[in-house]
Structure 1
């Protein structure tokens, strides 16, 4: 008899790395051949801007989800509940209600962690420590990488599963043209935590050194909007070299990768970074930071370069190196593309997540 899995998952909208990966799990057709599945969709906001804001409407949504959860446990009778928990803030306390409810009915729980910050949260707070230990007691946990598993080492004594994220394969064909100007790309939500200011400061350094380049910024408005980005460009005398193109999706986003030479992602807070996989698939060398899982994704000096967070001088130096050493830059991009197809495709992710389900329910 097939085992039953209940998915309790945040799904788009809005589109985030976590909701996108949750959607991939739900749409994994190979699961239907082995398990019987049901899904409770969680969505608290229609866009990224409202994602972190409080509203009474969200309280009503939480109550409805709790009701659906209890109903599904009683009627569907799952052998396992798969849940992507939010690791920090109000969202963690909210998700703790769901975990507690599942535990009351003595159901197996598989928690998929797509964020980080727990280790810092529990330091110096016995109350926070007790909450996380309760949430993670007698449950199975998936972490995104070997590096990220250290984030829960203090509150989770078992060995977590490690499943790297993956994205769908696309046919992206880049042509190597003889260009006078290197083309740089920053693609992310315009949050301070994504390193947009460090990116602009590094470009200012390159401009002052007369390094030839053009650059684009793409992403949804968040902490910064179009007007504030344009103002930041003006104060750095970058308006002739840097263009903000707004949010991009689908073919428009693919075209940006195709028409770029170097991908720059100087993030200050990241658990994984799906956009890095997109850049690798497109054959771009990546300049990023020693943050979250990124040192596992990017092989420093082989598929790109890593710098310390907020080190704009080092960031500028690495970008300059790639601009001046085009053949090596191309070779790094090809090495990254090879690593993508070896480790980070959606097919590989689906096989690995299936192994986890099978291990727990065998």
Structure 2
């Protein structure tokens, strides 16, 4: 039996970030006896700091990608296009070209929305009409029920909305190494104002003011905004917590694993997030997580069970939740175990791959061929 072809237009590493990581999992782990994925990678940038900026190199890459996209359609004759479209900003209008080309060839279209911002972007009748034109009669995958509100303005023109939670590979062999001489806090995210690392630093200061001098905070991640990074350093120096905080920069592989293994809690004070894949990573190391009630995070964290949910910008509450975990190591351990259990039950890579395979089969109308 000849397999149906799905042409996958996906952002792939480098640079490595949440979307490109998930896309690499899709290509590596989505298997079917009745369809096959053909990858056309998107690589406008090689560094996270290059994302969102204009260059003539990117412009050339775009036109080259358009040419290759049309060539792939003509040569490989796919039945559907699977595309990780940028949901807003200039990237959306660039990506819409590929949607329109797919419509010209009358291909089935699956748009996987990994971010949020559509609702905010549609601030005029003209933009609303353009978004409706792009999304009309296409299939949409969103990351959770919690963020379906973001496509509410265009939902009526969409053919069907599917909810597919992200998942990660579960490592069963993590040897957690705790240093009980210090309470180790980990925050892993791109250094940018939207991730609100400054709120965590304020919570660390509050803890130190209460006498918890053994608190140590590791802030890891690529510096995307140098001015904001300088603000973080300045805050530490002015408030006497420079010895309690360490900035590691971007980390990968064994170095990243080591940070998770030696941490007691993961804190994620973001104010702009669609899913929060890093929360799953923390669960993979049996860490309780303190995070904001943004995006899909309330579906991942059960407040008071495997972590704590806080409002954005609330350093006082983050400090209070950290203190709970400092003084009660048994609760800390229990919450970490429950986070790991939820990861295995709902957010495993197998669950993600199975859900995505099901979506592809439904879009291609292949269930009857099983």
TM range (shorter): over 0.9
Q: Is the contact between residue 30 and residue 357 of structure 2 (CA under 8 Å) also seen in structure 1? A: no
Q: Distance in 1 between matches of 2:97 and 2:178?
A: 53
SS of 1:141's partner is strand
* RMSD across aligned positions (CA): 1.5
TM-score scaled by length of structure 1: 0.95
Match of 2:304 among 291, 301, 314: 301
Q: How does 1:149-160 map to 2 (within 5 A)?
A: 149-157=148-156, 158=158, 159-160=160-161
* SS in structure 1 of the partner of residue 61 of structure 2: helix
Between 1:216-225 and 1:98-107, the stretch displaced more is 216-225
Match of 2:241 among 238, 242, 251: 238
Determine the C-alpha separation between the residues in 2 that align with 1:175 and 1:73.
51
Give SS of 2:153's match. coil
What's the CA shift string for 1:323-362, capped at 9, x where partnerless? 1222111111110010011111212211111111111111
Check the 8 A contact 1:111/1:140 in 2, yes or no: yes
Match of 2:105 in 1: 105
Residue 332 of structure 1 aligns with which residue?
A: 335
**d(CA) in 2 for partners of 1:29, 1:324:** 44
Quote the residue 1:7 is aligned against: 8
Output the CA distance in 1 between the equivalents of 2:230 and 2:3: 55
Aligned 8 A contact 2:49 2:224 in 1: yes
- The equivalent residue for 2:64 is 64
- What is the CA distance between 1:73 and its match in structure 2? 1.3
What residue in structure 2 maps to residue 218 of structure 1?
A: 220
The residue matched to 2:50 in structure 1 has which SS? coil
Provide the C-alpha distance between the structure 1 equivalents of 2:63 and 2:155, rounded to a whole number of angstroms. 28
Q: Distance in 2 between matches of 1:277 and 1:103?
A: 36
User: Deviation at 1:35?
Assistant: 1.5
* Deviation larger for 248-257 or 82-91: 248-257
What secondary structure does 1:295 align onto? helix
Closer, same or farther in 2 for the Cα pair 1:121/1:227, shift >3 Å? Answer: closer
Instruction: Label 1:245 to 1:176 Cα distance change in 2 as closer, same or farther (>3 A).
Output: closer
Write the distance in 1 (CA, Å) between the matches of 2:358 and 2:111: 15
On the 8 A contact 1:229/1:244 being kept in 2, the answer is: no
Please, which runs of 5 or more residues in structure 1 have no aligned partner?
Answer: none
Partner of 2:186: 185
CA distance in 2, matches of 1:93, 1:100: 11
How much does 1:84 deviate?
0.5
* 8 Å contact from structure 1 (residues 148, 292) kept in 2: yes
| Deviation at residue 246 of structure 1 after TM alignment | 2.0
Mapped to 2, the partners of 1:105 and 1:306 lie a distance apart of 46
Deviation at 1:302, TM superposition (A): 0.6
1:288 has 2:291 as partner: yes
Give the secondary-structure state (helix, strand or coil) at the position aligned to 1:115: coil
CA shift at 1:232, angstroms?
2.7
For residues 220-256 of structure 1, the C-alpha deviation after alignment (integer angstroms, 9 at most, x for no partner) is: 1111477654333111211121112222111111111
8 Å CA contact 1:137, 1:156 repeated in 2 = no
Aligned to 1:133: 132
* Number of residue equivalences: 359
**Distance (Å, rounded) in 1 between the aligned partners of 2:311 and 2:30:** 41
User: Shift of residue 37 of structure 1?
Assistant: 2.8
Match of 1:160, SS?
strand
Deviations 1:60-110 (A, max 9, x none): 111111111111111111111000100111000000111111111111000
